[in-house]
Structure 1
Amino acid sequence: MRISVIGGGAAGFFAALSAKKHHPEAEVSIYEKTTHFLSKVKISGGGRCNVCHDEPNHRILAERYPRGEKFLKKAFEQFDAADTMRWFQERNVALKIYPDGCVFPLSNSSQSIIDCFLREAQQLEIACHLQESIQSMEIDAHGLFHLQTTQKTLICERVIVTTGGQPKITGLQWLANMGHHIIPPVPSLFTFNMPNEPIKNLMGLVVEKANVRIEGHKLTGKGPLLITHWGMSGPAILQLSAWGARILADMNYEFAILVNWLDDTKESQLRDMLEQTRKNHGGKMLSNFSPFPIPSRLWSYLLEKNHISSTVRWNELNLKHINKLLNTLLNDRYQVKGKTTFKEEFVTAGGVDLAEIEVQRMESKKIPGLFFAGEIMDIDGITGGFNFQAAWTTGFIAGKYAGLKADKSG
């Protein structure tokens, strides 16, 4: 049995390792068109690699995927986050679980993950080919795959496609030509550019609990919000970009957002808070006292934005000022014009239609012997280790079943 894995990224390596572990007699090869294996693993998490997310509940885990939730919920029954952590720990890669559930190697270096994969591949005698891309793929009358690479022609019984997300649909055309329906790719996980918003002057400032929504839509993002020199980033923004990937693409990335700087605080709660502040701290100047869990620089900026003097005392605020503060703290409006890729981590929504993939095997329903793993499928998650978990899970399953005989037993 010859199994060829197209793509030497996270899903590709995990699929190859799974194939060889489950089918030691198989001849497994990885073909990577670039000069480096696992390049996305290398840069992920700022070079630390957020391996997965410590979430044992499959339903909750699957809810972190804007595309692929139902599909992955079934897939997690075969390989989940606990299995991921066990897999690495059994190979002497110590892991650390952070309070937010994110799991990183204890070394705080993605190289620990890369070294583990390369070492494992060498031990299992998996042939790893760099700078060798697949130029064409044909299937003969016996169901064998004929692959033409930049260096040779090869014939194999099984192919696992793990080429990752593609920026343009042209990168997926070869699969469309083979009869697969392709969901057009659009960017996911990106930050918001705000070229005309002066809040950029607060770059580096973080609000730990913010709630952001797209004006005119119910889409929301929650969590830390980071002000950057080009606009806004952080988990709240990245969540919003993932869930709204297609909507924002249709808007050509020109839209308005509304920020609640006080998380889920409602207007009635804020009015009470302001009234208590006026009563208990009325003699204090606004610049010297803020009852809100936001940085002082942001508080000063919001006062200035509303033309409220910072030397005004709390008991001097008039109704007009109070209403302005209410609206700004709970519905602060900013205009977005464009996007920026998050830390060079390229993630797309779109790919091979999940309706054409057998979830229990990751095998094409159209072409027997052709398997998929990772972002080549219409699957993407929010930040926090979820995209890698999808790669490990789908790679594990694809590798496990790729080596089975055509009767699909096992």
Structure 2
Amino acid sequence: MHKDVIIIGGGAAGFFAAINIAEQNPSLKVAILERGAAGLTKVKVSGGGRCNVTHAEFIPQELIQNYPRGEKELLGPFHQFMTGDTIEWFEKRGVELKIEDDGRMFPVSNSSQTIIDCFLNEAEKYQVEVFYNHSVKSLEQKNELFHIETSQGNFSSEKILIATGSNPKIWKLLEDLRHTISQPVPSLFTFNIEDDRIKDIPGVVAKDVEVKVLETDLWSEGPLLITHWGMSAPSILKLSAFGALEFAKRDYKFQIEINFIKKSFEECLDTLKTLKQDLAKKTVFKSTQFELPKRLWHKLVLASNMVEDTRWADLNKLQLENLASQLTQAIFNVNGKSTFKEEFVTAGGVNLKEVNFKTFESKYIKNLFFAGEVLNIDAVTGGFNFQNAWTGAYIAAKSIAQ
């Protein structure tokens, strides 16, 4: 079967590109090949089923700082199509977005199905054909035509866009076409930690902490969530993205130092000495300080060689220093990782030096385009990976439609 344009991958980037191509050039016959029984599965689970469409960051130079891989390459593309354009694109199609306190943007409906329905309706409107259960087995170019063998038949096309996300089989086919693949490793994951200081207090959130990875330059700040298996939330997820390659090298075994109150050890010690005078008759255990969650404070107090009925007045120099250390320099051993919710993000993919970021076309093979995480681009959590998908898909679509 012949089509003018074939998109391999029925995810966010694939549908977004197909719709934009068909809208900009209605004369083109556009088809999507999706290996699964349904497309847009990652959209479905994104943001806990609400779909974190993008992030309310409107300055390209600021936006690129959320991409551990792809920061330099995305600056130009974000000047062509970024957050404001994404919002306008969806609003034109009846999908209104809202901004949450942390900058994440979701459909007002709070349902990822709204985004899925938008894509399916637009694809139908512009006569984009979607072939489900079509797993690509081979891809080659002969006489300026691409030939694609799938599990359910063969296709040919003048132009191809690869939007399969992190797909090892597709990466292998691209390697056969002379492209280089940066070794994939997980990004965006939580840390597995067994420690009495966080045992039995899952769900506790420290609102603003600083986390450093010992023996590296890696650090981050933000909210910290204690889970059944260790730690999560933005401070940890950001570290996991920027440290993806380093942590893989270490087999996910390393140490982190947490400053729960973002004050220096000396500042903290001075405050504790003042509290020793002001709260002399009260117990330390029951006198939660520094706006910390009560259960976390209890754990850190007990870890400082105190008991529940230790009074402030009775604290000795060592106990004060121990508590200051637990609050500002607490060291935890990380041993392994866990998936963040149901969202899978991988660092790795097509080498960025082999792509023209003015068009998202291969520098090696004419009329072969890329969008989304098939490239070696990934971001921290918060809607940034989707923004990369929309931007790449839009620019590739514009190039293909011409």
Pick from 95, 99, 113 the counterpart of residue 115 of structure 2: 113
- Give the match for residue 255 of structure 1: 254
Give the structure-1-normalised TM-score: 0.95
**Conserved? CA contact 1:192–1:237, under 8 Å:** yes
Matched residue SS, 2:199: helix
Residues 6-405 of structure 1 aligned to structure 2 (within 5 Å)? 6-140=8-142, 142-166=143-167, 169=168, 172-195=171-194, 199-262=198-261, 264-404=262-402
Q: Whole-Å Cα distance in 2 between the matches of residues 225 and 152 of structure 1?
A: 49
The CA deviation at 1:278 is 2.2
Q: Whole-Å Cα distance in 1 between the matches of residues 302 and 169 of structure 2?
A: 49
The CA deviation at 1:310 is 2.7
Matched residue SS, 1:202: coil
Q: What amino acid does structure 2 have at the position aligned with 1:23?
A: N
**Conserved? CA contact 2:195–2:332, under 8 Å:** no
Q: Whole-Å Cα distance in 2 between the matches of residues 322 and 165 of structure 1?
A: 50
The CA deviation at 1:322 is 1.1
CA distances 1:346-380 after superposition (whole Å, capped 9, x unpaired): 00001001110000100000000000000000100
Q: Whole-Å Cα distance in 2 between the matches of residues 43 and 50 of structure 1?
A: 10
Q: Whole-Å Cα distance in 2 between the matches of residues 47 and 319 of structure 1?
A: 51
- Give the match for residue 407 of structure 1: none
Q: What amino acid does structure 2 have at the position aligned with 1:8?
A: G
Q: Whole-Å Cα distance in 1 between the matches of residues 64 and 49 of structure 2?
A: 25
The CA deviation at 1:134 is 1.4
The CA deviation at 1:171 is 5.0
The CA deviation at 1:283 is 2.4
Q: What amino acid does structure 2 have at the position aligned with 1:74?
A: G
Q: Whole-Å Cα distance in 1 between the matches of residues 308 and 20 of structure 2?
A: 62
The CA deviation at 1:178 is 0.6
CA distances 1:279-338 after superposition (whole Å, capped 9, x unpaired): 322222112212211111111111112221232222221110111111111111111111
Q: May I ask how many residue pairs the two structures share in their alignment?
A: 400
Matched residue SS, 2:119: helix
- Give the match for residue 3 of structure 1: 5
The CA deviation at 1:95 is 1.2
**Conserved? CA contact 1:3–1:403, under 8 Å:** no
Q: Whole-Å Cα distance in 1 between the matches of residues 224 and 37 of structure 2?
A: 36
The CA deviation at 1:170 is 5.5
Matched residue SS, 2:397: helix
**Conserved? CA contact 1:197–1:335, under 8 Å:** no
**Conserved? CA contact 2:6–2:31, under 8 Å:** yes
Any runs of at least 4 consecutive aligned residues in structure 1 with deviations exceeding 6 A, and if so which? Answer: none
Matched residue SS, 1:35: coil
The CA deviation at 1:195 is 4.0
The CA deviation at 1:196 is 5.5
The CA deviation at 1:194 is 1.8
**Conserved? CA contact 1:351–1:377, under 8 Å:** yes
Q: Structure 1: give runs of 5+ residues left out of the alignment.
A: 405-410
The CA deviation at 1:188 is 0.1
Matched residue SS, 2:79: coil
Q: Whole-Å Cα distance in 2 between the matches of residues 172 and 233 of structure 1?
A: 30
**Conserved? CA contact 2:53–2:386, under 8 Å:** yes
**Conserved? CA contact 1:17–1:121, under 8 Å:** yes
**Conserved? CA contact 1:197–1:334, under 8 Å:** no
CA distances 1:118-165 after superposition (whole Å, capped 9, x unpaired): 00100010001110111111111x311011122222211000000102
- Give the match for residue 408 of structure 1: none
Q: Whole-Å Cα distance in 2 between the matches of residues 170 and 129 of structure 1?
A: 18
Q: Whole-Å Cα distance in 2 between the matches of residues 74 and 316 of structure 1?
A: 62
Q: What amino acid does structure 2 have at the position aligned with 1:105?
A: P
Q: Whole-Å Cα distance in 2 between the matches of residues 70 and 307 of structure 1?
A: 49
The CA deviation at 1:344 is 1.4
Q: Structure 2: give runs of 5+ residues left out of the alignment.
A: none
Q: What amino acid does structure 2 have at the position aligned with 1:319?
A: K
